Amino acid sequence: MTAMLIDPLSRRSFLSMAALTAAAAPFALAQAPPASNTAKPGQIPVGLELYSVRDELQGDLLGTVNSVAKMGYQCVEFYAPYYEWTTTMAKGVRKLMDDLNVRCYSTHNSTKPFLGDGLGHAVELNEILGSKYLILASVDHISGLDGWKRVAGALNNMAERLKPSGLQAGYHNHQVEFKPIGDIRPMDVLADDTAKEVALQLDVGTCVEAGANPVAWINSNPGRIRSIHCKDWAPTEGYRVLFGDGVAPWKKIFEAAESKGGVEFYLIEQEGSALPALETAKQCLANFRKLKGV
């Protein structure tokens, strides 16, 4: 199994430890959070996958989290480079989030925490951050359905290893999981062969680009879709289309996610647009609120 699970985030630039250390020093950035940071009773929180503002995060981690909170985002998801933090760094980030009334419900992970002795540090960091889910960002170089069955086995193993901590394992799809091998999709293998407590984090944009129906997927996996990456897609602009401006049927997705999917939080993800990253995040949140009527 170790040989199969390849770091899927090699295309992404890891944050330099120097930048992280420099960002950890001051905590004066925290300000009174806007009222919109607090979810109303029955309202599903909306957050930002911080890969959406990766360059800003690299230059000023705490300032970027502060800016995202001031927009009205209620939670954030840290992506793979968080694993390189010290516990002191994580405690500083948690303090800032508490001051801003922002939560971290999940982290987006490379394979490091899922292999060998890497789990302990990830658990420690996630406990400090208040996270509930360790999401495997994806895997690479999987051959055939038997390979995907082994991935499912690894997720089940991770779920068992996480039980003493109260954390849960999850998996984030890309296009390949929705492309059939013969007449079976790898994503169906992952859903069928993993324990019910393994969360299936739905990336809508990649699902739609692969030609799959996200509403049907949610409805066929009740209670498993505990978070959704709200990333849109359009034939002409790809993932650079702003959330809500692509072809994904968002109102039907929200309805299915909240009536059957078991969604606990939404995460807007944007891989780029014609606007600067922070302005993109702000506009995506405005589009989300308009679609949701909140």
pLDDT value for 24? 44
Mean pLDDT calculated for residue range 211-227: 98
94 and 130 in contact (C-beta within 8 Å)?
A: yes
Taking only the tens place, the pLDDT of each residue in 233-262 is 999 999 999 999 999 999 999 999 999 999
Taking only the tens place, the pLDDT of each residue in 79-102 is 999 999 999 999 999 999 999 999
266 and 106 in contact (C-beta within 8 Å)?
A: no
pLDDT value for 58? 94
Taking only the tens place, the pLDDT of each residue in 8-39 is 333 333 333 344 444 444 444 445 555 568 77
Q: Which residue has the higher pLDDT, 70 or 294?
A: 70
Mean pLDDT calculated for residue range 133-142: 92
Going by their DSSP bridges, the two strands 75-78 and 103-109 should be labelled as: parallel
pLDDT value for 57? 96
Q: How many residues comprise the chain?
A: 294
Question: pTM (2 decimals)?
Answer: 0.90
pLDDT value for 273? 97
Residue 15 contacts by C-beta under 8 Å, 6 or more apart in sequence?
57, 58, 61, 81, 84
Nearest-angstrom CA–CA distance, 121 and 139: 20
CA separation (Å) from 178 to 135, 151, 155, 242, 273? 18, 15, 18, 23, 25
pLDDT value for 39? 75
The alpha carbon of 217 is separated from its chain's Cα centroid by a whole number of angstroms, namely 18
Nearest-angstrom CA–CA distance, 70 and 259: 30
Lowest-pLDDT choice from 2-11, 96-105, 160-169, 231-240: 2-11
* H or E, element range at 228: strand 227-230
- How high does pLDDT run on average in the chain? 89
Q: Which residue has the higher pLDDT, 21 or 131?
A: 131
Residue 102 contacts by C-beta under 8 Å, 6 or more apart in sequence?
33, 37, 47, 65, 68, 69, 73, 74, 75, 76
User: Which DSSP state fits 41?
Assistant: T
Mean pLDDT calculated for residue range 264-276: 97
pLDDT value for 138? 81
pLDDT value for 216? 98
| Nearest-10 crossing angle of helices 87-100, 61-71 | 20
Mean pLDDT calculated for residue range 129-158: 95
Which amino acid, residue 54? Answer: R
User: Which DSSP state fits 50?
Assistant: G
Nearest-angstrom CA–CA distance, 49 and 139: 19
